[in-house]
Amino acid sequence: MAELPSKRPAWAALQSHLASAKNLHLRDLFAGDPGRGTRMTAEAVGIYLDYSKNRVTDETLKLLLALAEASDLKGRIHAMFSGEKINITENRAVLHTALRAPEGATITVDGKNVVPEVHAVLDAMSAFADRVRSGAWKGFTGKPIKNVVNIGIGGSDLGPVMANEALRFYAKRELNFRFLSNVDGTDFAETVRDLDPAETLFIVCSKTFTTQETMTNAESARQWSLATLKDKASVAKHFVAVSTNAAEVTKFGIDTANMFGFWDWVGGRYSMDSAVGLATMLALGGTQFREMLAGFRAMDEHFRSAPFEKNLPVIMGLLSVWYGSFFGAETVAVLPYDQYLKRFPAYLQQLTMESNGKRVTLGGAEVDYQTGSVYWGEPGTNGQHSFYQLIHQGTKLIPCDFIAFCKSLNPVGRHHDLLMANVFAQAEALAFGKTAEQVKADKVPDWLVPHKTFPGNRPSNVLLLEKLTPFALGSLVALYEHIVFTQGVVWDIGSFDQWGVELGKVLASRIVPELEAAAEPDLKHDTSTNALIKRYRAAGR
Ligand code: G6Q
């Protein structure tokens, strides 16, 4: 079995460096190094990354880069991009990068170039989107489509939800998009309650087409639609599918001519730029969707070719390893200062936590260091009036990623200057804080001084972009995809399986018949689960 990364000399070097690095304060690092704020930056694909407010020295960065080398990050990047089956527990290639490969590229999986298929699906999605957007696609009664409901969950929901919100500015506003994911009947009822079935198109989005929540919602949607439209032939006009499972799609009654495919080498949480993005394509149209893909692709190229010391995903990935595995930080806050990115932290939660929430190495050995962090966040400035307090003055170390755009899509009076002033001020305050001396100088009574003192030394990255466009969104998502990859390689874990999710799918289906059985079931769970099931049954549902 391969040795744990923590046993490598490069890891040990960082561990011993930590002893001194822990005591450094960003105040001193900046005071002693006038070039720091411009030197510790990197720029690529329209993203300016200022990582100077991190608790690192040039020596730390050198050691982190050495750790990346020792982890064979270069080799692993090559393995991913070239279609090697690096998802070893499922024996699959990991090729979300092929989803945005240019036409004419060659990426081979099991002896077959997958790029032509990718573009064939994109063309089919684009043609379909044109018809719906122009009104040429008619519902069963001849009315054009007004409402689009994406039914999916996890990777078949969070990406489109986030992207449709993020790119709303560019969307066809006449189309009304909704996203139905939860198996809770309330989600279904509230999603459809004011919609007219004759004007509503459902996208049943499921890689496997067997996911309990999605199939239950799809079945309820079909019944709801048929209750008005009456004729089974209407299903073909009001339901389309995104799936890899043609047999199940046909069984559901959807014409496979209206099925948009993808492949087992695309993980759910890496699929928003595949056919899973059909709702986004319907909102944006083919041209703008392809601009988003170009943003992904540009970041892919940067990740694959830029030297590590200038490589955005590598730098950010290594910094998060530094805090998570060495400082013991448990979380990362992602703080977009753009209202359109309000679902971006939720999207990143799945991307990062499902990918790197693993406790054994690829070789199966239990790790003795922290792996995936808890990612969370809210758009600025709202978070400032709630949880930022804990980041500034609490006992936990929470590295932050600030994301901001120089130009507003909705310039209104002074709003954007105020918004941006807040980003810069927060990053500054977190880093430098306010010393007791400074507080005293404000004539604060002695007893109040500790309460008004800010220790500072709270690390952050600032990502500054020009404007939120489809290209910019693609580049940001790909940035985080590759940050996750970098982390996973250094931790030597499998970032592309999700056995915990699979377990949930199995466990729930075991209990369903026990809830629904007419006769009292013979329960064989633990005493707590047995009692809960009995109480639920006794309540009479
Ligand atoms: C993503 C996960 C998971 C998955 C959902 C939906 O990486 O595998 O979130 O996307 O469970 O699965 P289906 O698309 O198969 O319905």
Q: What would the pLDDT profile of 316-348 be if each residue is shown by its tens digit?
A: 999 999 999 999 999 999 999 999 999 999 999
pLDDT of residue 158: 98
Pick the catalytic residue from 213, 291, 354, 378. 354
User: Partners of 48 in the beta sheet?
Assistant: 43, 464
pLDDT of residue 46: 98
122 C-alpha to ligand 1 centroid (Å): 21
Q: 514 catalytic, yes or no?
A: no
Q: Which atom of ligand 1 is nearest to the CA of 276?
A: 14
pLDDT of residue 1: 53
183 C-alpha to ligand 1 centroid (Å): 14
Distance from C-alpha of 50 to C-alpha of 247, rounded to nearest angstrom:
50
79 C-alpha to ligand 1 centroid (Å): 24
The end-to-end CA distance of the chain, in Å, is 52
Pick the catalytic residue from 385, 443, 451, 524. 385
Write the DSSP assignment of 298-334 as a string of letters.
HHHHHHHHS-GGG-HHHHHHHHHHIIIIII---EEEE
Q: Kindly report the pTM of this predicted structure.
A: 0.97
With a 6 A CB cut-off, is 354 part of the ligand 1 pocket? yes
208 C-alpha to ligand 1 centroid (Å): 8
Query: Which residue's alpha carbon is nearest to atom 1 within ligand 1?
Result: 268
With a 6 A CB cut-off, is 155 part of the ligand 1 pocket? yes
With a 6 A CB cut-off, is 261 part of the ligand 1 pocket? no
pLDDT of residue 501: 87
Query: Which residue's alpha carbon is nearest to atom 5 within ligand 1?
Result: 154
User: Directed axis angle between helix 286-305 and helix 312-321, to 10°?
Assistant: 70
246 C-alpha to ligand 1 centroid (Å): 17
With a 6 A CB cut-off, is 348 part of the ligand 1 pocket? no
Query: What tens digit of pLDDT does each residue of 442-483 get?
Result: 999 999 999 999 999 999 999 999 999 999 999 999 999 999
Distance from C-alpha of 175 to C-alpha of 513, rounded to nearest angstrom:
40
Q: What is the pLDDT along the chain (541 residues), one digit of tens a residue?
A: 578 999 999 999 999 999 999 999 999 999 999 999 999 999 999 999 999 999 999 999 999 999 999 999 999 999 999 999 999 999 999 999 999 999 999 999 999 999 999 999 999 999 999 999 999 999 999 999 999 999 999 999 999 999 999 999 999 999 999 999 999 999 999 999 999 999 999 999 999 999 999 999 999 999 999 999 999 999 999 999 999 999 999 999 998 999 999 999 999 999 999 999 999 999 999 999 999 999 999 999 999 999 999 999 999 999 999 999 999 999 999 999 999 999 999 999 999 999 999 999 999 999 999 999 999 999 999 999 999 999 999 999 999 999 999 999 999 999 999 999 999 999 999 999 999 999 999 999 999 999 999 999 999 999 999 999 999 999 999 999 999 999 999 999 999 999 998 888 888 888 999 999 999 999 999 999 999 999 999 998 7
What are the angstrom distances between the C-alpha of 187 and each of 158, 184, 345, 347?
15, 6, 21, 19
With a 6 A CB cut-off, is 159 part of the ligand 1 pocket? no
